[in-house]
A = this chain, B = another copy of it.
Amino acid sequence: MNIRKLPHIVIVGAGFGGMEVARNLKNAPVQITLIDRHNYHLFQPLLYQVAIAGLVPSQIAYPLRTIFRRQKNLTFQMGEVTSIDFESRYVKMDGSIIAYDHLILAVGGQTNFFGMSSVEQNGFQLKDIQSAVNTRNHLLKIFEDASREADAEKRRAMLTFVVVGGGPTGVETAGALAELITHVMAKDYPHMSLKEVRVLLLEAGNSVMPAYPEELRKATFDLLRSKKVEVMLNAKLTNYNGQRVTLANGETIATQTLIWTAGVRASEITDRLGVQQAGSGRVRTDAYLRIPSHPEVFVIGDAAYLENGNGQPLPMLSTVAIQQGKVTAQNIQKILKGQKPEPFHYKDPGLLATIGRNAAVARIWGLSFSGFIAWVIWVFLHIYRLIGFRNRLLVLINWAWEYLFYENQVRLITKE
């Protein structure tokens, strides 16, 4: 097999979408280069568990070279793609140039602060391992600080935790944080009064989980309340100076912790490509997920903008990215054989979010579940999807332990 003669497929980004393309081209007569800034694939849906000290990074990340060790037609390159030349068909990565025949941009998303630099500077986010570990360190450190703060007003501000965004990430983070405090911190800080602790979930719209059917929105709201999360609807944030949140109605909340989960946009590199963008920086594609002017370039996942049947943009979800990755791998093989590619149609597999250690809401097979049954479904689906048998086993032991003993293992403040 002469490798130099095979078409060269370059995939930028090893998130859910990029991984799916790479795996589905395993037996194709192509040479693949997979590029990522990190040397691991990150299971992003569980990043909030790192922030609340429930899991450690190695349980939700797996080295890419190990994943693709047996895929002989793939080479991994760790590095940052800084620019792309669509005319000459190459990407620039850390100074070196990599030419392609087909390019897949699976560059993912990043936090969208909608221009609020005060929140970007003073708030916490859950976008990668580093930001999740920073959040964890801050949460644990502020309990240490509060434990020796004599001034009651200052102490209450330290023990007020604000999560912004009523979508799945915000709901999951607020629910898990409330449980960490009730079941673990209460034991670690026996002299501290839990009455001074508040977990607030701020949502700018009039409902949590806006994408979910009415009965699950209601169930989410009730579950959060039962876990002592204060849900504030129609609460639009305008400023956060690190000490005080200001809302659009003038109200203020004294807090040293704001976790922002209220916005995602396409990765910033999309702004520098000179291509047509839709809202949130997403790249407009044709029905085959290609850049119309450059049909050898595919864009998939959070970075791609495509509408579903009823004129709504496809959501920025891992399920969308995975389905797009699979179809793109098939379409590349069809194009290489001179066949016509298939347009992409999203099949909604349902919705699922967890609220603490024994409750969740789910919409699967046309049915709504909430409470413990939904939580069991959530646990099994997430563990099943985690890469690597040992990772699954360790996460399962961790969760079983936490479930039995209300214990969070990894409460280490590793760096400030």
State whether the Cβ of A197 lies closer than 8 Å to any Cβ in chain B: no
| Contact, CB under 8 Å: B394 / A188 | no
What string of 1s and 0s marks CB contacts (under 8 Å) between A50-77 and chain B?
A: 0000001110010101100100000001
Stretch at the interface among A99-107, A290-298, A404-412: A404-412
- Chain B residue numbers with a CB within 8 Å of A58 are 56, 409-410, 412
| Contact, CB under 8 Å: A65 / B189 | yes
| Contact, CB under 8 Å: B188 / A129 | no
State whether the Cβ of A414 lies closer than 8 Å to any Cβ in chain B: yes
| Contact, CB under 8 Å: A415 / B78 | no
What string of 1s and 0s marks CB contacts (under 8 Å) between A72-110 and chain B?
A: 000001100000000000000000100000000000000
State whether the Cβ of A130 lies closer than 8 Å to any Cβ in chain B: yes
What string of 1s and 0s marks CB contacts (under 8 Å) between A361-380 and chain B?
A: 00000000000000000000
Expressed in whole angstroms, the minimum distance between the Cβ of A137 and any Cβ of chain B is 10
State whether the Cβ of A40 lies closer than 8 Å to any Cβ in chain B: yes
State whether the Cβ of A28 lies closer than 8 Å to any Cβ in chain B: no
- Chain B residue numbers with a CB within 8 Å of A190 are 69
Expressed in whole angstroms, the minimum distance between the Cβ of A93 and any Cβ of chain B is 9
State whether the Cβ of A219 lies closer than 8 Å to any Cβ in chain B: no
Known: A39-B411, A409-B58, A411-B39. A188 touches B393 (CB 8 A): no
Q: Which residue of B lies closest to A77 (CB)?
A: B148
| Contact, CB under 8 Å: B188 / A411 | no
| Contact, CB under 8 Å: B130 / A414 | yes
Partner of A66, one of B38, B148, B188: B188
Q: Give the bracket for the number of chain A residues in contact with chain B.
A: 35 or more
State whether the Cβ of A222 lies closer than 8 Å to any Cβ in chain B: no
A394 to B410, CA, bound (A): 12
Q: Which residue of B lies closest to A129 (CB)?
A: B414
Dominant secondary structure of chain A at its interface with chain B? mixed
State whether the Cβ of A154 lies closer than 8 Å to any Cβ in chain B: no
A204 to B390, CA, bound (A): 41
A77 to B149, CA, bound (A): 12
- Chain B residue numbers with a CB within 8 Å of A397 are 390, 393-394, 397
- Chain B residue numbers with a CB within 8 Å of A78 are 144, 413
| Contact, CB under 8 Å: B140 / A39 | yes
Known: A96-B148, A390-B397, A401-B390. A412 touches B188 (CB 8 A): no
A133 to B69, CA, bound (A): 24
Known: A66-B188, A77-B148, A78-B144. A38 touches B390 (CB 8 A): no
Q: Which residue of B lies closest to A184 (CB)?
A: B66
- Chain B residue numbers with a CB within 8 Å of A66 are 187-188, 407, 411
Expressed in whole angstroms, the minimum distance between the Cβ of A415 and any Cβ of chain B is 6
Q: Which residue of B lies closest to A400 (CB)?
A: B390
A364 to B336, CA, bound (A): 67
| Contact, CB under 8 Å: A412 / B39 | yes
| Contact, CB under 8 Å: B412 / A69 | no
Q: Which residue of B lies closest to A64 (CB)?
A: B188
Expressed in whole angstroms, the minimum distance between the Cβ of A132 and any Cβ of chain B is 11
A415 to B129, CA, bound (A): 9
A56 to B58, CA, bound (A): 7
Partner of A38, one of B129, B393, B401, B413: B413
Expressed in whole angstroms, the minimum distance between the Cβ of A398 and any Cβ of chain B is 8
Q: Which residue of B lies closest to A187 (CB)?
A: B69
Known: A63-B188, A69-B187, A69-B188. A413 touches B148 (CB 8 A): no
Given contacts A66-B187, A133-B414, 16 further A-B contacts (CB under 8 A): A39-B140, A40-B411, A56-B56, A56-B57, A57-B412, A57-B414, A61-B412, A63-B411, A66-B188, A69-B187, A69-B188, A69-B190, A78-B413, A390-B409, A393-B397, A397-B397
- Can you sample 6 A-B contacts with CB below 8 Å? A58-B410, A65-B189, A66-B411, A69-B188, A78-B413, A133-B414
Complex A-B, nearest 9 residue pairs according to Cβ-Cβ distance, in ascending order: A65-B188, A58-B410, A78-B144, A63-B411, A56-B58, A39-B413, A40-B412, A61-B412, A390-B401
